[in-house]
Amino acid sequence: MAIWKAQRTLLIVGEGRHEEAFLNHLKQLYVPRGCGLSVTIKNARGKGALHVIDWTARQIANADYDAVAALLDTDTDWNAKTEKLAKSKKIQVLKSEPCLEAMMLRLIGKSANGDAHVLKKQFAPFVNNDPTQRDNYALHFGSVSLLAGRSKEPTIDALLKLFGC
- Which domains are assigned to the chain? 8-162 (3.40.50)
Give 58: exposed, middle or buried? Use CB within 10 Å, 0-12, 13-18, 19+.
exposed
The whole-number average pLDDT for the span 68-75 is 96
Average pLDDT over residues 54-72: 95
Tell me the average pLDDT across 49-71. 96
Residue 72 phi/psi, 5-degree rounding, is -145, 160
Cis geometry, peptide bond prior to residue 98 (ω within 30 degrees of 0): yes
Asked if the model's pLDDT at residue 34 lies above 90, the reply is no
pLDDT over 90 for what percent of the chain?
Answer: 88
> Distance of CA 104 to CAs 34, 40, 89, Å?
29, 22, 27
